[in-house]
Structure 1
Amino acid sequence: MALTKQTQERIAQVGEEVEIDDDDAAVRADEIMLLVSIFGERARGKDVEAAREAMDVGETYVGAARSLRCEIEVELERREDGFRVRATDQTSEEMLVGATPSVFLEFIFPRDGYPSRAPPFFVLRADWLSNSHLSALTAHLDQMWNTNVARGGGPIVYEWTEWLRTDALEEMLLDSCGILKLSARALCWAGEDFELDPRGIVMARDAREAELSILRADAVARRRDFLACGDNTCGVYVSDDVSGHDLRRVSGACGHFFCIECVTRMAHVHVREGTVLKLVCPDQECSCSIKPHVLKEVLGDQEFERYETLLLSKTLDAMNDVVYCPRCEYPVIEDEEMRLVRCVKCLYAFCTLCRASFHPGSECLNIEQKLAVLEGRKRGNSQMSIEALRKYREEIADASAEAYVARVGKSCPECRHAVVKNAGCNKITCVCGCFFCWTCGKNLIGDGYSHYRNVNSEPGKSACQLFNLDTITAWENEMAELNPQRQGRGHINHERATDIATCIRCKAANAMFDRNNHVRCWACNSSFCAACKKIVTKTSYHYGPGKCKQHG
């Protein structure tokens, strides 16, 4: 136990032969058992363990006839409004916290005189307070004992711990501005005659270390409160009754929490579909990557292994100087100034342009020439082995796929992956997460829609259309087949139709009934205003006094 020399001498003095007061001994026994029952595991020491064992078997603790030692960890009450902490007087930087580390009260009940006449011997130690702070606390504990003696004496330790827990921070440690200053002479009210008490033991080496201790304690307290709270909100399905134990902080770079069920579903979908680069924070305005340990928790071992494999593959694919060996598929770094690459795994030397064996002095074969060579090889060797035939078929399939992509596909401007469009609009989303325009091939900024003309009544940044005319026609024909009553656009010739309005999004012709400017497109189901040519999300916000007229 970390007792000062002065305290040890005082203990030795009272350790001599003295007459034991039976009443004091009984009170000491009751007090130690009371402290053990109140503080539980936060009360420590051999005498505490002996008292705890006696209580467990229903016996009376009989060790109070000698000096009793105990250490109590006092957790200071958390301030809901928080308080500011300043490390040194030379800086104005402050941090706002709500909780502090514990203060440890070590004490010894003397064999004679306590609690009727003599106080306990005690020391205070903390890893976040200075000498002046601890000296002020010990002085106040002495003052509390003197007041106790004036009232006739009695057990004092619990009163000490309660004052430390509830009032010490506000009364003794914070200044008039509510700031805890961690410097050695931090007490603004301490005069020149203020003496440091050796019973206050400082465990921090400097103010910065004390500051870190406070930050750690505050973070632990916040997390404990968060986990204990049962009315947290999940940002995905906006439920406000989620337990903290069921929420996960998905990234260390942001403070967004989502329930484990939503994170699990999202992770399974992206791993199953191979879009692991989109495994980011679900918040709409955040793009922080999800921490691997969170994904490992929600994914099984097999799926997490697939996630790591896909992530490595996608990362390598996004690197412009990485090529794959056509023989063993091992990634190799290419030299931009040379067409020759030698695989470090199988030592195969190949051309970086056509992926064929290195051919110095000759041009690369195009797709048609490569297919012709493969066909000629097949005709010249009709007795191919099963393995050779399999490899030949793979080469034919790869060459045919390359020819098809070269004919009808386009390359992503970000990762150079080949993309083939078979339906939909001209805004393309690559597997790397990049948006680009199918018409002009440019990389799109933001959500990409500002690039196109006449989307949400905006002129657009280019001459490109979001939908091609043939795509719109095909969509209208498909909708007409699904809705026979609309076939031939019979709704346009309806007796109540007063005018024709073109959809803002898909350009389909729609009938306006009874001069109602609010139109719902029959083709894409979008709602728009025929008067101002804008998409309408809520009619109550768009129509009314000072706004567009819905009728007329």
Structure 2
Amino acid sequence: MSSEDKEAQEEELLALASIYEDEFKRAESAQGGETRICLELPQNFKIFVSGSSTESLQSNRYEYTVCFLPPLVLNFKLPPDYPSTSPPVFTLSGKWLSQAQLSALCKHLDNVWEENRGCVILFAWMQFLKEETLSYLNISSPYELKMCHEGNRQSRTPLVSLEAEKDCGGAAGSAAAGEDMIDARAVQDVISLSSLVTEILDFDQAQRRKCFNSKMHLCNICFNEKLGSECMYFTVCNHVYCKACLKNYFEMKIRDGQVQSLYCPELKCSSVAAPGQVKELVEEQLFARYDHLLLKSSLDLMADVVYCPRPACQTPVMQEPGCIMGICSYCSYAFCSLCRMTYHGVSPCKVTAEKLIDLRNEYLEADEANKRFLEQRYGKRVIQKALEEMESKEWLEKNSKSCPCCGTHIEKLGGCNKMTCTGCMQYFCWICMGSLSKVNPYWHFNDPSSPCFNRYVFTCISSSAIPLVFLLFLTVSPRLFLP
């Protein structure tokens, strides 16, 4: 190696390390290295994958919008007589370009060397790959991802010697069509099409997050500007909030049990926080509550899932179609999925006293089909009993009062306001429903401090049935008529 070549190589490697920083890695044991080249994509760049079935293309097409694609990787080794005589030995690998497209790029790199023989060439190669790859290969949005044929697929290999290969057609058009002309230096570094899509989406998300973390953002809650690493954004609407504000917001919602409404705090925004975002911010115990409630609310929406009615169990139970019997997989309890009681076969469901009101209201509001279902489920006699009991209760509430001592319902048809309960024989006032003394029950009506003073006589007696003079006399001197 001449001193001029060695000096040129060292200067070039130092310059590349300074320009590309994290994208460039120098080899430790030889004059060479590896550079990862990320392409600049147009805005709203789309990729798509077509299904392999014989159905229509539209029904099997999956499309994604990305801002970043995995980098092209240029591995190179500098021969002793570079750059005076020989070009760098290299391999070019990529995940989302076919081997034919990579072969076309390899061929173009050879042409660039031929045009600049005797000069350092690595920077020119890298700039071409970074800025002109898409235009050179005629790649535009939407771009279809494809895999090379199984027989031609190569795994990522070490540096190979620079030998003349078959002409793979330097033009991009021939690269797209001539997949039989594959350069040995071109490596499609991917296992399968499905793994390729996953790697692209994961890389795009990671790069977006990296760009977000490096910039300042305004929190829409506290209105403070903070670095992106201290903030979080909702992926659908891109509204940004600092982690401290979102943490308090999430914790409040979870404690209130509103796990289905962890929406973006922006007014009228319907974006929902992802579980991963919630887990990143809240404590482990709160996230466990969030996860449990979220699962429960999801199961509640499934018509074929019921819960074991035992309070200490509550295990979700999957029902067989058309079967009302549920068997808990945890405690083996067999129960009726309609009334949540022990399974009773073809017998009608039993109704508790507390549920009679709900059953009566449900029956009165139901249409004919639902009424027949309720009659079949509970039995006509049970339905009729519920209706009769509710009618009786409503009548008693309107036409009677309860004894203040034992609660017996009493209807007053006439007479004075001093009442005697037929159940417990307690004296009480019909006006204020207060208990009266057993010794002198009438003192309640003679006491000037009592709200019922001078109101002993039944106030609803028609004045036409009693002479007016008698009524006035009774009001003035009620003691004359007391026993």
Name the TM-score, length of structure 2 as normaliser: 0.51
- Once the two structures are TM-superposed, the CA of residue 78 in structure 1 deviates from its matched residue by 1.5
Aligned to 1:272: 255
Q: Could you tell me which of 152, 155, 160 is aligned with 2:120?
A: 155
- Once the two structures are TM-superposed, the CA of residue 246 in structure 1 deviates from its matched residue by 3.9
Q: 1:361 to 1:229 in 2, by over 3 A?
A: closer
- Once the two structures are TM-superposed, the CA of residue 157 in structure 1 deviates from its matched residue by 1.6
CA distance in 1, matches of 2:350, 2:65: 66
Q: Could you tell me which of 3, 12, 24 is aligned with 2:5?
A: 24
Percentage of identical aligned residues: 23
1:345 aligns with 2:313: no
1:228 aligns with 2:214: yes
Q: 1:226 to 1:364 in 2, by over 3 A?
A: same
Aligned to 2:103: 135
CA distance in 2, matches of 1:354, 1:212: 45
- List per-residue Cα deviations over 1:144-175 (Å, max 9, x = no partner): 223323xxx332222222222223333x1225
CA distance in 1, matches of 2:78, 2:88: 5
Aligned to 1:544: none
CA distance in 2, matches of 1:27, 1:308: 60
Counterpart code for 1:147? E
Moved more, 289-298 or 343-352: 343-352
1:173 aligns with 2:137: yes
CA distance in 2, matches of 1:337, 1:190: 62
- Aligned to 2:75, what secondary structure does the other structure show? strand
Aligned to 1:103: 72
CA distance in 1, matches of 2:143, 2:302: 51
- Once the two structures are TM-superposed, the CA of residue 256 in structure 1 deviates from its matched residue by 5.0
Counterpart code for 1:144? V
Aligned to 2:41: 79
- List per-residue Cα deviations over 1:267-313 (Å, max 9, x = no partner): 22223333334344556666676433332333223323333454566
Contact 1:74–1:165 under 8 Å retained in 2: no
Counterpart code for 1:301? E
Q: 1:159 to 1:215 in 2, by over 3 A?
A: same
Contact 1:323–1:352 under 8 Å retained in 2: no
- List per-residue Cα deviations over 1:190-246 (Å, max 9, x = no partner): 699996433323334677766665554444333332333324674xx4959564334
CA distance in 2, matches of 1:178, 1:319: 40
Name the TM-score, length of structure 1 as normaliser: 0.46
Contact 1:173–1:180 under 8 Å retained in 2: no
Moved more, 218-227 or 314-323: 314-323
1:116 aligns with 2:81: no
Counterpart code for 2:331? K
Counterpart code for 1:139? K
- Once the two structures are TM-superposed, the CA of residue 124 in structure 1 deviates from its matched residue by 1.8
Contact 1:341–1:351 under 8 Å retained in 2: no
Aligned to 1:305: 288
Contact 2:254–2:286 under 8 Å retained in 1: yes
Contact 2:315–2:328 under 8 Å retained in 1: no
- Once the two structures are TM-superposed, the CA of residue 261 in structure 1 deviates from its matched residue by 3.8
- Once the two structures are TM-superposed, the CA of residue 104 in structure 1 deviates from its matched residue by 1.9
CA distance in 1, matches of 2:193, 2:342: 66
Aligned to 2:28: 49
Aligned to 2:232: 248
Q: Could you tell me which of 15, 40, 49 is aligned with 1:34?
A: 15
- Aligned to 1:106, what secondary structure does the other structure show? strand
Q: 1:286 to 1:134 in 2, by over 3 A?
A: same
- Once the two structures are TM-superposed, the CA of residue 21 in structure 1 deviates from its matched residue by 1.8
Aligned to 2:186: 200
Contact 2:101–2:176 under 8 Å retained in 1: no
Q: 1:108 to 1:286 in 2, by over 3 A?
A: same
Structure with the greater relative contact order (CA < 8 A, sep ≥ 6): 1 or 2?
2
> Any unmatched runs of 5+ in structure 1?
1-19, 51-67, 368-401, 414-552
Contact 1:105–1:124 under 8 Å retained in 2: yes
Higher CA-based Rg: 2
CA RMSD in angstroms, aligned pairs only? 5.2
- Once the two structures are TM-superposed, the CA of residue 137 in structure 1 deviates from its matched residue by 2.0
Taking the TM superposition and a 5 Å limit, the aligned residue runs for 1:267-416 are 267-282=250-265, 290-311=273-294, 322=306, 325=309, 328=312, 330-331=314-315, 345=331, 353=339, 367=353, 402=354
Aligned pair count reads 329
- List per-residue Cα deviations over 1:174-193 (Å, max 9, x = no partner): 25x67756667993266999
Q: 1:243 to 1:43 in 2, by over 3 A?
A: closer
CA distance in 1, matches of 2:98, 2:337: 70
CA distance in 1, matches of 2:100, 2:340: 77
CA distance in 1, matches of 2:23, 2:76: 14
- List per-residue Cα deviations over 1:295-341 (Å, max 9, x = no partner): 23332233233334545666677778746646746457599977998
Contact 1:148–1:154 under 8 Å retained in 2: yes
- Once the two structures are TM-superposed, the CA of residue 23 in structure 1 deviates from its matched residue by 2.4
Q: 1:282 to 1:69 in 2, by over 3 A?
A: same
- Once the two structures are TM-superposed, the CA of residue 109 in structure 1 deviates from its matched residue by 1.8
CA distance in 2, matches of 1:91, 1:351: 45
Counterpart code for 1:103? L
Aligned to 1:70: 32
Taking the TM superposition and a 5 Å limit, the aligned residue runs for 1:461-476 are none
CA distance in 2, matches of 1:179, 1:357: 59
